[in-house]
Structure 1
Amino acid sequence: MTAYVIAEVGGVKDAERIAAYREISTRAAAAGGGTFIARGGRTTVLEGDWKPERIVIIRFDDMETARKYYDSELYRQAREVRAGATAKFNMICVEGLADEEKGQ
């Protein structure tokens, strides 16, 4: 089943390091079979008190492929570059629905 890596980024402290992180993480996602489906576009809170500054969503074929991306040497380098460059960085991986579950 498809998997989605979702990242919330906020409070950029070092724009140069974030630009370098973005370049490396883009290459890591492509090398790992990921496709960006949202990358910092406009957000609207529909419920609750969530105030995301930037949301990134990357689609992978499955959870295992998403985890390989996260654990890859290239993404490890990206994480090192990003360390301390933002006040907030949260990332999760969510498994998508099986084809027979879609629309239910």
Structure 2
Amino acid sequence: MASGYIIANVSVTNPEQYEDYKKWSTAAFKAHHAEICVRGGQVQVMEGDWQPERVVIAKFPSFEAAKAFYDSAEYLKARKAREGAAIMRLVVIEGV
């Protein structure tokens, strides 16, 4: 079965409030057995005009598991904590 990935580019607008989101999203990732591959490390654009800010990549057991995480009660709590603290651009991708 192919893995599922969540890839997010986050523009943090309220760093203090964003700390609550990080706390709740970390708990949600753990509850859904996600492997955090990237979380806010250094970024250097090599081609194109994309200017990512804070990148997060999480690996899940399957595409369906990644989608279920996003809609879960645990992550909904994190999403509510993020309101007004960040602009999120997020995709779910099926791996190989």
1:1-104 map, 5 Å = 1-10=2-11, 12-86=12-86, 88-97=87-96
Shift of 1:40: 0.6
> 3-state SS of the aligned residue for 1:8?
strand
Moved over 6 A (4+): none
**Would you say the 8 A contact 1:8–1:91 is kept in 2?**
yes
Partner deviation per Cα, 1:12-59 (whole Å, 9 max, x = no partner): 222222101001001101101111000011111111111111100000
TM-score (norm 2): 0.94
Give me the CA root mean square deviation. 0.9
CA distance in 2, matches of 1:17, 1:72: 21
TM-score (norm 1): 0.87
Flag structure 1 segments of 5+ consecutive residues without an equivalent. Answer: 98-104
Flag structure 2 segments of 5+ consecutive residues without an equivalent. Answer: none
The answer for the alignment partner of 1:100 in structure 2 is: none
Shift of 1:67: 1.1
CA distance in 1, matches of 2:10, 2:15: 12
* Higher gyration radius (CA): 1
